[in-house]
Amino acid sequence: MSWPRLKNKYSEGYDERRGIQSQELIEKLKGRRPFWAHGVSVGEVQALMPVISAARVSGYSGPIVISTTTETGKDMAIRLGEGLFDHHIYYPWDKKEFVRRAILSLEPWAFATAETELWPNMLWELKDTLIPAFLVNGRISDRTWKRLEGPVRKKIGASFFDLFTEIFLREKRDLKRLRSIGVPMGKLNVFGDTKTDALLLRKDVAARDRWAAKLGSDRYKIFIAGSTHPGEEEEVIRAFEILKQRYPKTKLILAPRHPERAEDALAVARQKFKAGLLSSDQFDQDVTVVDKIGILFELYGTAVSAFVGGSFADKGGQNILEPVSWGIPVQYGPHMEDFAEASDEFIELGIATQVKDAESLGDAWVRIMQASDHDNGENFRKISAGYFERCSGSSLKTWERIYQYY
């Protein structure tokens, strides 16, 4: 893509994307070396923010610069981390000239990126300038693992991962995969999922209660299908039909993974039920389709059960930790590869059910209603509380290890 076209596409932060920092930032730093945290977009920012929070709670008062690639990532950083970091910039395109310029102007004492991001030029330049680099909340998804098939690709992949000073991984499976391609064991740590801590930081009970009141949760049992992909809405609506036949006093919240698909999801829902968009602020219908960003997590808290998308569709599954953090059971299809370890544990604990189709999802929802008649979900809340008590703390472990390089 030509530079004029790039400038038109990325009008916001164009200079920063070429490694040129504002005079305001240079003056603000005044020779104080920052901690530089990078998250491509929303998910990566959510993984980083608990680490930044842990830094501040631990007493670190130095400057923190956070970078994102997308504008939605920037919005999420401001929403979650206002007051925790000092400055946001857009990440430089991974061209040697741009990356070197950004590093020389910022002079960070450490750089951390989240989840699966490999930026070869950035990592090479950091290594050349003796600045430690960290992969936070690292994971080797099945898709990434497939791209590393074959001896040549494994060797190249290992050389890139080896550029990190240390790698903090979510699961033992991730460590085994990196170790098997030759990444030195001394760089690898399994600290758990920082998003576990992020969820606890993000929980807003008052906001949850406001949505619950609007949705009429005192009169209806709310079910939710979150982060659905094309083709999954039809399955969810069929499952809701099964539930509705047995339990008429139920409602469904349908939240497409991408809110711009809300009208398509609404059309599917209206084939069977009275349905409307969340933005209409009318909640007298059977199905409410979410067409806003940033509120799904709070909506999970209003429900008695949640189907998590990207799991009937072969997308690796979306985040099952979000609904479970509210103490509600989850259901999902055959594809939950991106949260495999959590999935196995949740199934063993009895707070998750893997289903094969709409009929088995509908049956699972009926069983949830039957169970709620006995204990009103108290058992699920106890399971959730115990899990998060055991699994929280990965962000502090991550920060403490990074801080050793300060």
Average pLDDT over residues 324-342: 94
Model confidence band, residue 8 (pLDDT cutoffs 50, 70, 90): low
Helix (H/G/I), strand (E/B), else coil: 329: coil
Give the β-pairing of 250-256 and 287-289. Answer: parallel
Same domain for 256 and 187: no
Tell me which residue range forms the domain holding 286.
Answer: 204-391
- Residue 151, domain CATH: 3.40.50.11720
Same domain for 357 and 224: yes
- Residue 270, domain CATH: 3.40.50.2000
Average pLDDT over residues 282-301: 95
Q: How far apart are CA 277 and CA 261, in angstroms?
A: 11
| Residue 141: predicted pLDDT | 82
Model confidence band, residue 299 (pLDDT cutoffs 50, 70, 90): very high
Task: Select from 59, 11, 62 the least CA-distant residue to 35.
Answer: 62
Same domain for 216 and 183: no
Task: Select from 127, 137, 179 the least CA-distant residue to 52.
Answer: 137
- Please determine, for residue 1, whether its predicted confidence score (pLDDT) is greater than 60: no
Model confidence band, residue 199 (pLDDT cutoffs 50, 70, 90): confident
Task: Select from 273, 271, 281, 267 the least CA-distant residue to 252.
Answer: 273
Quick one: CA dihedral 267, 272, 276, 277, positive or negative?
negative
Does residue 114 contact residue 86 with C-beta atoms inside 8 Å? Answer: no
Same domain for 386 and 306: yes
| Residue 341: predicted pLDDT | 84
Cα→Cα distances 197→52, 158, 273, Å:
11, 29, 38
- The DSSP element (H or E) to which 136 belongs, if any, is strand 133-138
Same domain for 175 and 37: yes
How many other CB atoms are there within 10 angstroms of residue 274's CB atom?
A: 10
Average pLDDT over residues 235-262: 97
- Please determine, for residue 375, whether its predicted confidence score (pLDDT) is greater than 90: no
Same domain for 248 and 186: no
Rg, the chain, Cα only: 22
| Residue 129: predicted pLDDT | 96
Same domain for 144 and 242: no
Same domain for 220 and 179: no
| Residue 36: predicted pLDDT | 98
| Residue 10: predicted pLDDT | 66
CA of residue 167 relative to chain centroid, distance: 18
**Which of the residue ranges 171-175, 210-214, 227-231, 299-303 would you say has the lowest mean pLDDT?**
171-175
Helix (H/G/I), strand (E/B), else coil: 20: coil
Counted domains in the chain: 2
Task: Give the pLDDT confidence of 210-237 residue by residue, as tens digits.
Answer: 999 999 999 999 999 999 999 999 999 9
Same domain for 244 and 131: no
Task: Select from 108, 48, 32, 114 the least CA-distant residue to 81.
Answer: 48
Q: What angle do CA 331, 335, 339 make, to 5 degrees?
A: 75
Reported pTM: 0.78
Residue with tokens 């594809």: 335
Q: How far apart are CA 94 and CA 80, in angstroms?
A: 26
- Please determine, for residue 3, whether its predicted confidence score (pLDDT) is greater than 60: no
Model confidence band, residue 284 (pLDDT cutoffs 50, 70, 90): very high
The phi, psi pair for 330, rounded to 5°, reads -120, 150
Give the β-pairing of 221-228 and 305-308. Answer: parallel
Quick one: CA dihedral 187, 124, 66, 292, positive or negative?
negative
Same domain for 254 and 173: no
| Residue 9: predicted pLDDT | 65
- Please determine, for residue 200, whether its predicted confidence score (pLDDT) is greater than 90: no
Which token pair is 54? 């842990």
Same domain for 144 and 41: yes
Q: What is the mean pLDDT of the chain?
A: 93
- Please determine, for residue 266, whether its predicted confidence score (pLDDT) is greater than 80: yes
Model confidence band, residue 5 (pLDDT cutoffs 50, 70, 90): low
Model confidence band, residue 183 (pLDDT cutoffs 50, 70, 90): very high
Quick one: CA dihedral 333, 338, 344, 347, positive or negative?
negative
Same domain for 189 and 68: yes
Which token pair is 122? 């950035």
- Please determine, for residue 115, whether its predicted confidence score (pLDDT) is greater than 90: no
Share of the chain above pLDDT 90, in %: 81
| Residue 40: predicted pLDDT | 92
